[in-house]
Amino acid sequence: MSENNITNILVAGIGGQGVMTAAEILSQTALEQGFDVKKTEVAGMAQRGGVVTSHVRFGERVLSPAIAPGEADILIGFEPAEALRWCTHLRKDGVAMVNLLRQKPPVVNTGLFDYPDDPVAEIRQAGIDVHAFDAGAIARELGNPKLVNTVMLGAISEYLPFSAEVLKSAILDRFRQHKPKLVAINEQAFEAGRKADGTS
């Protein structure tokens, strides 16, 4: 949490990975815990695999939804190159939670930009506390690649100003309302995210 008692979370990834859903869940959970919440998002061709980012800020009183460079407490990188691109927004003592599953955006596939050789290594070279693991592999092992979102939320749950159980309940309640058959597997995904080895 920042010095002004505001928690700043930057979520970055590629369209279709669940960036906006993760931001919405974090925002709604914080709101239900009594925090003032502001959220903003930028989607570039999200449905076509373009870059997607969302800023989530919550605390006693939040005036602006935008996180300035050097102010993010947590960076949730659904894609490693996107995590690298946004790591300058982290505070010196911030945490980057990075999914190792690579998904190149159209700007790379069209040759406009080169994909970095080892984005996680570059983030670590910047002196950032990086917890990197393959959330995609965890999701596939559980039988549903769409579980990446829940895995990533489980992974950051210990770094929030409310308990992991509070966040898990918020996620599972969403599924109870709309897709009750997916409650159990999302609970497994959340717990797998909490246990994920962040040293890879």
Q: Would you kindly state where each structural domain of the chain is located, as residue ranges? A: 6-195
Q: pLDDT of 136-190, one tens digit each?
A: 999 999 999 889 999 999 999 999 999 999 999 999 999 998 899 999 999 999 9
Identify the burial level of 175 via C-beta atoms within 10 angstroms of its C-beta, where 0-12 means exposed, 13-18 middle and 19 or more buried.
middle
- Give me the pLDDT at residue 141, please: 95
> For tokens 């602006």, what's the residue?
64
Q: pLDDT of 88-126, one tens digit each?
A: 999 999 999 999 988 776 666 666 678 888 999 999 999
Angle between helices 164-178 and 183-195 (to 10 degrees): 160
Q: What is the DSSP letter of 21?
A: H
Annotation: CATH topology of 6-195? Pyruvate-ferredoxin Oxidoreductase; domain 3 (3.40.920)
Containing H/E element for 103? Answer: none
Average pLDDT over residues 13-32: 91
> For tokens 């669940």, what's the residue?
18
Mean pLDDT estimate for the chain? 89
